[in-house]
Amino acid sequence: MTSVLASAKALQKEACATTERPVLRERGQREVFCGLTGIIWLHRKIQDAFFLVVGSRTCAHLIQSAAGVMIFAEPRFATAILDERDLAGLADANDELDRVVGRLLERRPDIRMLFLVGSCPSEVIKLDLSRAAERLSVQHAPNVRVLNYSGSGIETTFTQGEDACLASLVPELPTRDGGAPQLLVAGALADIVEDQFRRIFAELGMTDVAFLPPRKSRELPAVGPGTKVLLAQPFLTDTTARLQERGCEILAAPFPYGVDGTMAWLAKAADLWGVPRARFDEVVAPAATRARKALDAHKFRLAGKRVFFFPDSQLEIPLARFLSEELGMFPVEVGTPYLNRQQMSFDLDKLPAETLVSEGQDVERQLDRCREAKPDLIVCGLGLANPLEAEGFTTKWSIELLFTPVQGFEQAGDLAELFTRPLLRRTRLEV
């Protein structure tokens, strides 16, 4: 039997002759979350928004299970669970939804924006949530704006849920007339990271900077032809398309991980604003120097180590770029649920030629490849991590990369530390 790794490498070699990097496309069991999972961070990011999933008991169970194995803060999300009566048409699902939303808003008078989030069952029974959202928006105006998007597993993979949510916000953004260019940073960031970027842009003399999503639903940034968009997250395919429709220009840049990533990301905007290179260097130098120092503390542990990424959040390619370029690790395989070549081009081009990039998943075959490759570190989802540890591998669970502030200079060391910790832990334990 030819080894799966060997055949994957053959594909790699074959395609290396051409200019475009080859990608192994697989279809099979996908061990990934659906887009509903994004609610876990989005409901904290937009502080006066509520997320109502219209779905099944499975949806409700998923969110509470995936949330760090059950968080118990008071949530700003809930599930309207469809039951037999809704499916059999005995109850008009729309009337039921209106009733549930009414009850919810009565209980939460502080809510200003409500997202109706579609799920697999609501999509399959073709419950029209966009019409429901329009109807409910009229009913509850002016206090609450009701929007909708789909976080269903049949349409979205994990972080695509955030993409769908932000895309649903774009038509709501006020229109901005020409004038001076304005910068819009798209993609949910930890508040602290957002504040750091805001300070850097201010020091660079860029004052008209807005973030999407905003912290309050009533503080939606205006957009228009003068708006230049810098992507803070690598999974915003639909959102960028909607923004382009509004006349915004998307800046092609790498993603802001590590020193080099952050530097290039900031520089892209600064160049456009005509910030002199010397001024740019002066502004970013202190933070960049700190960050390099922080990375050095991790480099000796990570350099030369081989890392294997299972597909999860679409962060895989930029993170592999960071680990390989800035910390000297070697990515054996970088799996991504969905590859947006255009947005990924900077990071993709910097991956070593020998690195196998795979899109989609057949989890059993990928596990075979992984076992054969014997990487030093595996980045994977929660379902796979403990079994791989039990087989003797060292793993980093990928969901933590989304729940931790990792972008920007000040977080570069923290990001590296997320990968160092499991390796260090192995050396410490004597049991």
Partner 1 sequence: MQLTVWTYEGPPHIGAMRIANSMDGLHYVLHAPQGDTYADLLFTMIERNNVRPPVTYTTFQARDLGGDTAELFKSSARAAYERFKPEAMIVGASCTAELIQDDPGGLAKALALDCPVIPLELPAYQKKENWGAAETFYQLVRAYTGAQAPAPGATRPQRAAGERARCNVLGPTSLGFRNRDDVTEILRLLADLKIEVNVVAPQGSRPSDLARLPEADFNIVLYPEVAQNAANWLKRTFGQPFTKTIPIGVGATRAFVKEVCELAGIDSTAFLSRERSRLPWYSRSIDSTYLTGKRVFIFGDATHAIAAAKVATSELGFKVVGLGTYSREFARDVREAAKEYGLEALVTDDYLEVEQAVRELHPELVLGTQMERHIAKRLGVPCAVISAPIHVQDFPARYAPQMGFEGANVLFDTWVHPLMMGLEEHLLQMFRDDFEFHDGAGPSHLGGHGGARDASAEAPVAVMAPVATSEAIVLQAPVAAKPEGWAADAEKELGKIPFFVRGKARRNTERYAAERGITTITIETLYDAKAHYSR
The residue ranges that bind partner 1 (CB under 8 A) are 28-37, 54, 56-58, 60-62, 64-66, 69-70, 72-76, 78-84, 86-87, 91, 93, 96-97, 99-100, 103-104, 107-110, 120-121, 123-125, 152-155, 157, 364, 381-387, 389-390
Q: Give the whole-angstrom CA distance, residue 50 versus residue 37.
A: 14
- Of 262 and 314, which CB lies nearer to partner 1 in the complex structure? 314
Q: How far is the CB of 73 from partner 1 (least distance, A)?
A: 8
- Of 76 and 305, which CB lies nearer to partner 1 in the complex structure? 76
Give all strands of the β-sheet with 377-380 in edge-to-edge order. Answer: 23-27, 356-361, 330-336, 306-309, 377-380, 395-397
DSSP code of residue 118: E
Q: Is 361 exposed, middle or buried (0-12, 13-18, 19+ CB in 10 A)?
A: buried
Closest CA to 218 of 165, 169, 148: 169
Q: How far is the CB of 364 from partner 1 (least distance, A)?
A: 6
Q: Give the whole-angstrom CA distance, residue 20 versus residue 34.
A: 30
Q: How far is the CB of 299 from partner 1 (least distance, A)?
A: 31
Q: Is 380 exposed, middle or buried (0-12, 13-18, 19+ CB in 10 A)?
A: buried
Closest CA to 371 of 354, 355, 387: 387
- Of 43 and 176, which CB lies nearer to partner 1 in the complex structure? 43
- Of 249 and 389, which CB lies nearer to partner 1 in the complex structure? 389
- Of 155 and 359, which CB lies nearer to partner 1 in the complex structure? 155
Q: How far is the CB of 323 from partner 1 (least distance, A)?
A: 24
Q: What are phi and psi of 307, to 5 degrees?
A: -120, 145
The position carrying tokens 């609450």 is 144
Beta bridge partners of 210: 184
- Of 12 and 358, which CB lies nearer to partner 1 in the complex structure? 358
- Of 254 and 335, which CB lies nearer to partner 1 in the complex structure? 335
- Of 362 and 414, which CB lies nearer to partner 1 in the complex structure? 362
CB atoms within 10 A of CB 134: 14
CB atoms within 10 A of CB 11: 14
- Of 34 and 378, which CB lies nearer to partner 1 in the complex structure? 34
Q: How far is the CB of 387 from partner 1 (least distance, A)?
A: 5
Direct distance between the N- and C-terminal alpha carbons of the chain, in angstroms, rounded to an integer: 37
Reduce the DSSP state of residue 297 to 3 states and report it.
helix
The position carrying tokens 């969905």 is 338
- Of 7 and 175, which CB lies nearer to partner 1 in the complex structure? 7
Which amino acid would we find at residue 60?
A
**CA distance to 226, 265, 278, 315, per residue, from 270 (Å):** 15, 9, 11, 24
Q: How far is the CB of 226 from partner 1 (least distance, A)?
A: 36
Beta bridge partners of 25: 359
Q: How far is the CB of 372 from partner 1 (least distance, A)?
A: 16
The token pair that represents 111 in the structure block: 């809510």
Q: How far is CA 220 from the centre of its chain?
A: 20
Q: How far is the CB of 90 from partner 1 (least distance, A)?
A: 12
- Of 108 and 246, which CB lies nearer to partner 1 in the complex structure? 108
Q: How far is the CB of 362 from partner 1 (least distance, A)?
A: 9
Residues 402, 333 contacting (CB under 8 angstroms): no
Q: How far is the CB of 150 from partner 1 (least distance, A)?
A: 9
The token pair that represents 305 in the structure block: 């180590």
- CB within 8 A of 234, min separation 6: which ones? 255, 314, 315, 317, 318, 340, 343, 344, 347
Q: How far is the CB of 400 from partner 1 (least distance, A)?
A: 12
